Structure 1
Amino acid sequence: MTRIFSSLLCLTAVLLGTGCSKKDNAGPGDGGWQASGNIYYDWAEGMGLAVTYRVDLGSGVRSKALGYNGDRHAWDISRDGSIMVQSLEDPNDYDGEVYRIINPQSGETLSEFRKRNSEVSNFTQPQLSPDKSRIAVPPVSDRGLLVMDLQGRLLKEVVTIGGKRVNGSIAWMPDNSIVCVAGSTVYRLNNQYTWGDVVTQMNFNDWNHLAASHDGQRLAFAGGKHIWMMNADGSNRVQVTTSNEEEGYPVFSPDGKYLLVGTNYDGEGNAIQNWELTIIPADGQQYNVTDGADKRVVQLKVKGSDMLQENCNDLMTWR
């Protein structure tokens, strides 16, 4: 990873495709590049209190999207950035959770409800549908995949598909259908969540973090310590990262042109999670994300940070 954005001026210029020379700041595609939107990510600062940062890729400015809250378990933000859902500890029920929907610009609470109880696993990660009408909750040890409306009414719980328990990560598709996993099979549920078509069979001992492009045409996932991409029907599966370390947690840019990935990845199963924020083109080519190996790979670095590269230790997304 040879190009680090060392100043706000250069970061902004490269993201806008102007200003800094190709030699000084090569980006995806071996030259100036354009990326838009906001990257949100969790990172522990100061005394180890985790906050959620937002980097505006148009200006290069980093700000806090969410301050520290010891009761917060997870969050998601709508694709248009207008609402954010958070899962929080229920102060009145040790085994319960509260879902709070806020305006991320003002911080105003728009609605709040108690999620249907899970007696074993009360740390859940709600995900907003593309049209902001529904919330999906990935399966936990004692509950299946939950789909509810924004008032908390349960619309559907999918526990098994084809006799196999639903497990692992999920991804919304543009028509409010959901891509999910049962055993080693990836399925696409219809938008009523009553049946599912097989997308592909996975042949990895360890894989996770299924993600979908916003147009629903492609999927990405982490498998065998690297990032892979395929068409939404499971065809044309290709490995798109390589290194001497591990990569994880792929996230598509809103326009589908890039992938945000975690490099030097210490994720699930590690006592302390930590990875670096790296961007590659989502063009099906393979990129070596080892430090100094490929000038087409972009490290995320912003002014005002002491980090050589921005790090994450929990959730991240691109809106």
Structure 2
Amino acid sequence: MEKRFIKAEDLFELKSVTDPQFSPDGKKCVFVQTEMLEKKNDYASNLYIIDIKDGGKPKQWTYGENRNHSPRWSPDGTKVAFVSNRSGKNQIFVLDAAGGEAKQVTDFRNGANGPVWSPDGKRIACSVSLKPDEDLLAKDEEKKDDKKLEPFVAQEMKYKSDGAGFWDGKYRQTVIVDLADGKAELVAKGEVDYHLQCWSPDGKSLVLSADESPERDLSFKSDLWLMDIQTGNKTKLTNGTGYFGNAVFSPDGKYLGYTGHEREFENATLTQVWVQELETGNIQCVTENMDILVGDAVAADFHQGANSPGLIWGEDSESFYFLATDQGNTVLYFANLAGEVYPALLDQQHVYGYTLDGKNQRIVTAISNPVLPGELFQLEVTTGEVKQLTFVNEKVLESVTLSQPEQISFEASDGTPLNGWIMKPAGYEEGKKYPLILEIHGGPHAMYANSYFNEFQVLAAEGYVVLYINPRGSHGYGQQFVNAVRGDYGGGDYQDVMDAVDHALEKYDFIDKDRLGVTGGSYGGFMTNWIVGHTDRFKAAVTQRSISNWISFYGVSDIGYYFTEWQIQADLSDLEKLWKHSPLAYVDKINTPLLILHSEKDYRCPIEQAEQLFIALKRQGKETKFIRFPESNHELSRSGKPNLRLSRLASIVDWFNSYL
């Protein structure tokens, strides 16, 4: 078959596989498959099941053009609980593993999420959102949702959130549903968000994460609490200064493992693995000697609904596995209480989900790499053998040509080691010169990786060299590296990306130095704005969901007042410093044609950041265009409406095609 270059429209053919879950006996694995629906302009997620013992192709388990996700096996392996919006709002459903229709087990006023089985399989705990005076169940007349418009009153600084909108007075609470009679009991309630973590093996307690500080506008911690289900009494397990979650009991109930950090460097602090002995209260930081982030901080644009777990215990209650963001890869690690920590699956790839069959020493992993959007693989722990289980994107991949990037390493001007990738055009020919596009990730505390990035492949298919690196401030290279950007936006980080371009031009003679472009989103949008205000070396730029003015960002972003203090290390009492680090201050020096892309409902980097930049540029007669995406938030490029995701990609390509 003659292959073609990939197109933006191929997103409708690509499928995402996530959240694998082994059955308790290790014979089956259920997972979530998500795809785009072109006609409905939406997404559909369904459960699929693989027979691990007997092999064979995955079988579809749920059907419909809605969202079915978060599958969790009952302890005896006879049922699977999951979340579905098939009845309107997210509710909990249960499927019999032997077959048949799913049974809806919740019908709560505001929906339900995050099912957690009791050890005896007779009850399910889940999370709901409620106002302090709201009943769990809605009356029939209230289900119509035809309320009149009312003014919104804000009394807290944390009154809005990107993707969720304005805070409606609801708190996250915990409910336990008895499967025999359907009765539901609200067990963790109050004017606090209680995040359900796990159920104790003896069935008597739940672990919750919550911030019970009286001044939560200025508190950014999350403690773990052990709650006695019968009495409602809670015992604080952590010390009240850090941010902890992903808690899970060892099978014997002696230990609680969790992830988190003590906030030494605010949101730049590396997450660690902690194990607490419940009887003594002794806490051990298992990863204290590992200078990498526990968890998955990869910046990508494809994996829908990826939900990587914290740690997963082995059957012996002495060992466990976890993921870590490690120098351009997400690596699956093994550890035990004796202090051993080493990679269980080390390769140039992005592991974005996994599940463990402790009895048979097998792991099913969700893996992506630059030319593989994502599939499930089985790892035999004892032999190291890896076997591919799903081939959901095989048909598309057999018909298109993708570009395999080359990993690069070099030193910044100050000697700092840097890491990145260069992707040749999909139709690369020796002797030809090609334009280059520099891509900059958001965060800034995130990491480009050996993972599939659809935008990069589309640009490569259009004839561009794509350069992307992890500048200082990125995760994956240690605490000092990730912290280095704080208070220095536009300093060392700017020099890093400029050094990357210099390195690429020096090493690769197929790059046309007179046809350079730059783009990025969020922090990457800030850096794009900063770059074009400080150099004319780029002939075109596209800034996305960007920051242009730290002074106004402080008050308009959902994270503005604390993010600005943590990252720029200034507040509104130091306008000079905020303005010094604001790209808008250098707008008179911008000569590069600049396309501005922004979502109307972006509360993380609000659209007024783009409006200011656009008006300032137009007023000075600079070459610019402003495209606004309706009903979209900060996540447009990853999970926005499919037609708008394609429109965004087309706008980027058209702009660079016009100037490069």
Fold-level match, TM-score > 0.5? Answer: yes
Q: TM-score range by the shorter chain?
A: 0.5 to 0.7
Give the 3-state SS of the residue equivalent to 1:170 in structure 2.
strand
After TM superposition, give the deviation of residue 261 of structure 1 in Å.
0.6
Give the 3-state SS of the residue equivalent to 1:165 in structure 2.
coil
The equivalent of 1:280 in structure 2 is: 276
Of 141, 144, 147, 2:94 maps to: 147
Question: Unaligned regions of 5+ residues in structure 2, if any?
Answer: 1-13, 131-171, 212-221, 289-336, 359-660
State the alpha-carbon separation in 2 of the partners of residues 165 and 202 from structure 1. 16
State the alpha-carbon separation in 1 of the partners of residues 287 and 250 from structure 2. 22
TM-score after normalising by structure 2: 0.30
Q: Please say if residues 78 and 96 of structure 2, whose CA atoms lie closer than 8 Å, have aligned partners that are also in contact.
A: yes
Judge which range, 223-232 or 241-250, deviates more: 241-250
Amino acid at match of 2:279: D
State the alpha-carbon separation in 1 of the partners of residues 174 and 351 from structure 2. 27
1:43-97 deviations in Å (ceiling 9; x for gaps): xxxxxxxxxxxxxxxxxxxxxxxxxx96113222233433221011258886322
Amino acid at match of 2:234: R
Within 5 Å, give how 1:87-126 maps onto structure 2: 87-90=32-35, 95-104=43-52, 108-109=56-57, 111-118=59-66, 122=67, 124-126=69-71
Q: Structure 1 residues 165 and 280, CA, compared in 2 at 3 Å: closer, same or farther?
A: same
Q: Does 1:195 align with 2:183?
A: yes
Amino acid at match of 1:178: I
Q: Does 1:81 align with 2:23?
A: no
Within 5 Å, give how 1:43-54 maps onto structure 2: none
Q: Does 1:134 align with 2:121?
A: no
1:17-53 deviations in Å (ceiling 9; x for gaps): xxxxxxxxxxxxxxxxxxxxxxxxxxxxxxxxxxxxx
Highest RCO, 1 vs 2 (Cα 8 Å, sep ≥ 6): 1
Q: Please say if residues 274 and 284 of structure 2, whose CA atoms lie closer than 8 Å, have aligned partners that are also in contact.
A: no
Q: Please say if residues 177 and 188 of structure 1, whose CA atoms lie closer than 8 Å, have aligned partners that are also in contact.
A: yes
1:179-218 deviations in Å (ceiling 9; x for gaps): 123325432211146211332324424x324311233222
Q: Structure 1 residues 92 and 142, CA, compared in 2 at 3 Å: closer, same or farther?
A: same
State the alpha-carbon separation in 1 of the partners of residues 250 and 227 from structure 2. 16
State the alpha-carbon separation in 2 of the partners of residues 202 and 290 from structure 1. 34
Of 48, 51, 72, 2:17 maps to: 72
After TM superposition, give the deviation of residue 126 of structure 1 in Å.
0.9
Q: Structure 1 residues 252 and 147, CA, compared in 2 at 3 Å: closer, same or farther?
A: same
Count of paired positions: 234
After TM superposition, give the deviation of residue 265 of structure 1 in Å.
9.0
Amino acid at match of 1:221: L
The equivalent of 2:226 in structure 1 is: 229
Amino acid at match of 1:148: L
Q: Does 1:172 align with 2:117?
A: yes
RMSD: 4.2
Q: Please say if residues 253 and 318 of structure 1, whose CA atoms lie closer than 8 Å, have aligned partners that are also in contact.
A: no
1:246-290 deviations in Å (ceiling 9; x for gaps): 111111122222112112399xxx9x9x84333222337374759
After TM superposition, give the deviation of residue 165 of structure 1 in Å.
2.2
Of 187, 199, 204, 1:217 maps to: 204
The equivalent of 1:302 in structure 2 is: 342
Q: Structure 1 residues 75 and 316, CA, compared in 2 at 3 Å: closer, same or farther?
A: closer
Q: Please say if residues 209 and 249 of structure 1, whose CA atoms lie closer than 8 Å, have aligned partners that are also in contact.
A: no
Amino acid at match of 1:129: S
Q: Structure 1 residues 243 and 145, CA, compared in 2 at 3 Å: closer, same or farther?
A: same
Amino acid at match of 2:18: H
Question: Unaligned regions of 5+ residues in structure 1, if any?
Answer: 1-68
Give the 3-state SS of the residue equivalent to 1:169 in structure 2.
strand
Which one has a bigger Cα radius of gyration?
2
Give the 3-state SS of the residue equivalent to 1:255 in structure 2.
coil
Answer 1 or 2: which has greater helix percent: 2
Q: Structure 1 residues 98 and 185, CA, compared in 2 at 3 Å: closer, same or farther?
A: closer
Q: Does 1:249 align with 2:246?
A: yes
Q: Please say if residues 29 and 50 of structure 2, whose CA atoms lie closer than 8 Å, have aligned partners that are also in contact.
A: yes
Q: Please say if residues 139 and 167 of structure 1, whose CA atoms lie closer than 8 Å, have aligned partners that are also in contact.
A: no
